[in-house]
């Protein structure tokens, strides 16, 4: 194995001689980076081009930031990476208490036996790889499930999910710009914020999204949309983070400012995108809608700057295609009508496999007016251009 492919270990200790001892033991099997202060090590983890470490080792008792505090901060930045705490005999009680605080994999007593150190680090590397693989599989499965659910919901409740692709695109573009973690949870929250709409009549959802007058009962129903969605997702343990973002976004929309943190920024983006989309549905220009929403929600400047409109990156003008030529990545640029003139799908709906199947069934049974007018998103055009022939 070449040096650049060796697992990476970050070591933190305020004593240089201890760091040199760790480096001497680990350097033949690992790439080692050493630091004498917790803030230096955290700065390294925060560096945009920082490598993916496989194990983090920290001494317990240090001036300034102690090991337990450092490992807690490291966990927030790199939750998949195994953390090992080095401690002296007199620190055992503190070390035991720190295991939960810092989500610590193991603690080793100083002076540490070299064989024990090597076996513990090797086990930590394997555990980190296992956790990363599990996360990738889990997130891939959940993402696919959420997207399929959104496609189906677009058929069950077309009024609510017609423009959900615009909301998701706004949020994900901002998420990428800001470099936010747990992007899959943020995407799911943007996609499923309107899940509760399946409990409402379509005409109520249409009027609510368009900013039209609602009766007392209708208004009360529509105002609970985000909270209803979060309650549904609360029942799925792996989607608890998604439910939390949706609930906080719902609170933001009704005047509650969130606490600082990653969830807060995610919730702010989802809330802002929802509000912008509602104003656009009511006939406002996107730029004006964004300006008024960002002011009313008191969106932080960096989040305001990160929100962009998907049409700013759209490719080309409208095209006319047959149903058999529809492709995921297109957006309908006009209503789809049956042969008798009945509206089937509204303008602005993003094309999905479920929508294509639905239109094929309509065409076979009732007939659909073709060709259909569509536009490509930038992402869809790129995917089509790079797809194998």
Backbone angles phi, psi at 286, to 5 degrees: -60, -45
Contact by Cβ (8 Å): 21, 50: no
Tell me how far apart the alpha carbons of residues 204 and 221 are, in angstroms, rounded to a whole number.
9
Tell me how far apart the alpha carbons of residues 246 and 182 are, in angstroms, rounded to a whole number.
14
> Which of these CATH numbers, 1.10.620.20, 1.10.3210.10, 1.10.10.10, 3.50.50.60, describes 157-313?
1.10.3210.10
Q: Is 328 helix (H, G, I), strand (E, B) or coil?
A: strand
Q: What is the pLDDT of residue 382?
A: 43
Nearest to 55 by CA among 36, 78, 35, 37: 78
Ranges of each domain in the chain: 3-132, 157-313, 314-389
- The sign of the torsion formed by the CA atoms of 337, 338, 342, 346 equals negative
Residue with tokens 């194990």: 55
pLDDT of 19-71, one tens digit each? 999 999 999 999 999 999 999 999 999 887 777 899 999 998 888 888 888 98
- Which helix (DSSP H) or strand (DSSP E) does residue 293 occupy? helix 286-296
- Which helix (DSSP H) or strand (DSSP E) does residue 360 occupy? helix 353-365
Q: What is the pLDDT of residue 41?
A: 93
pLDDT, the chain, mean: 84
Q: What is the mean pLDDT of residues 363-376?
A: 88
Q: How confident is the model at residue 315 (pLDDT cuts 50, 70, 90)?
A: very low
Can you read off the two tokens belonging to residue 262? Answer: 């990653």
Poorest-pLDDT segment among 108-112, 169-173, 310-314, 320-324: 310-314
pLDDT of 159 strictly over 90: no
pTM of the model: 0.62
Tell me how far apart the alpha carbons of residues 330 and 348 are, in angstroms, rounded to a whole number.
10
The pLDDT > 90 percentage for the chain reads 34
If one counts every other C-beta atom within 10 angstroms of the C-beta of residue 340, the result is: 8
pLDDT of 123-147, one tens digit each? 999 999 998 888 788 777 877 888 8
Q: What is the CA radius of gyration of the chain?
A: 26
Backbone angles phi, psi at 55, to 5 degrees: -145, 145
Poorest-pLDDT segment among 188-192, 246-250, 352-356: 352-356
Q: Has domain 3-132 been given CATH number 3.40.50.2300?
A: yes
CA separation, residue 163 to residues 19, 58, 113, 160 (Å) = 55, 49, 61, 7
- Which helix (DSSP H) or strand (DSSP E) does residue 267 occupy? helix 262-281
Q: Is 320 helix (H, G, I), strand (E, B) or coil?
A: strand
Q: How confident is the model at residue 385 (pLDDT cuts 50, 70, 90)?
A: very low
3-state helix, strand, coil in the chain (%, to 5): 60, 15, 30
Contact by Cβ (8 Å): 195, 231: no
Burial (CB < 10 A; 0-12, 13-18, 19+), residue 71, is: buried
Q: What is the mean pLDDT of residues 233-249?
A: 90
Q: What is the pLDDT of residue 89?
A: 56
If one counts every other C-beta atom within 10 angstroms of the C-beta of residue 286, the result is: 18
Contact by Cβ (8 Å): 311, 170: no
Q: How confident is the model at residue 377 (pLDDT cuts 50, 70, 90)?
A: low
């Amino acid at each position: 194995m070449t040096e650049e492919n060796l697992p990476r270990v970050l070591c933190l200790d305020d004593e240089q001689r201890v760091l040199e001892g760790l480096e001497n033991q680990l350097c033949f099997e690992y790439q080692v980076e050493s630091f004498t202060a917790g803030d230096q090590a955290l700065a390294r983890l925060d560096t945009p081009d920082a490598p993916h470490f496989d194990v983090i080792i920290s001494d317990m008792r240090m001036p300034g930031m102690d090991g337990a505090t450092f490992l807690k901060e490291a966990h927030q930045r790199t939750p998949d990476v195994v953390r090992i705490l080095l401690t002296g005999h007199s620190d055992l009680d503190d070390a035991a208490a720190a295991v939960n605080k810092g989500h610590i994999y193991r603690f080793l007593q100083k002076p540490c036996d070299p064989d024990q150190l090597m076996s513990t680090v090797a086990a930590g590397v394997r555990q980190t790889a296992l956790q990363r693989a599990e996360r990738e599989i889990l997130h891939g499965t959940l993402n696919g499930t959420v997207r399929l659910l959104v496609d189906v919901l677009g058929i069950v409740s077309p009024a609510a999910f017609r423009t959900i692709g615009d909301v998701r695109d706004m949020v994900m573009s901002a998420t990428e710009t800001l470099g936010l973690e747990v992007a899959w949870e943020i995407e799911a929250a943007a996609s499923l914020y309107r899940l509760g709409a399946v409990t409402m009549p379509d005409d109520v959802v249409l009027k609510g999204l368009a900013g039209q007058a609602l009766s007392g009962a209708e208004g009360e129903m529509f105002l609970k949309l985000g909270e209803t969605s979060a309650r549904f997702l609360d029942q799925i343990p792996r989607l608890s983070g998604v439910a939390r973002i949706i609930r906080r976004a719902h609170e933001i929309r009704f005047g509650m400012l969130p606490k600082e943190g990653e969830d807060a920024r995610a919730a702010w983006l989802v809330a802002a995108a929802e509000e912008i989309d509602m104003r656009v549905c009511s006939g406002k220009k996107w730029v004006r809608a964004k300006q008024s929403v960002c002011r009313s929600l008191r969106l932080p400047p960096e989040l305001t700057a990160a929100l962009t409109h998907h049409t700013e990156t759209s490719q080309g003008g409208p095209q006319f295609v047959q149903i058999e030529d529809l492709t995921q990545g297109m957006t309908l640029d006009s209503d789809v009508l049956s042969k008798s003139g009945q509206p089937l799908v509204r303008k602005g709906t993003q094309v999905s496999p479920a929508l294509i199947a639905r239109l094929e069934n309509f065409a076979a049974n009732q007939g659909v007016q073709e060709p259909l007018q569509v536009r490509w998103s930038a992402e869809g055009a790129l995917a089509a251009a790079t797809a194998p022939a």
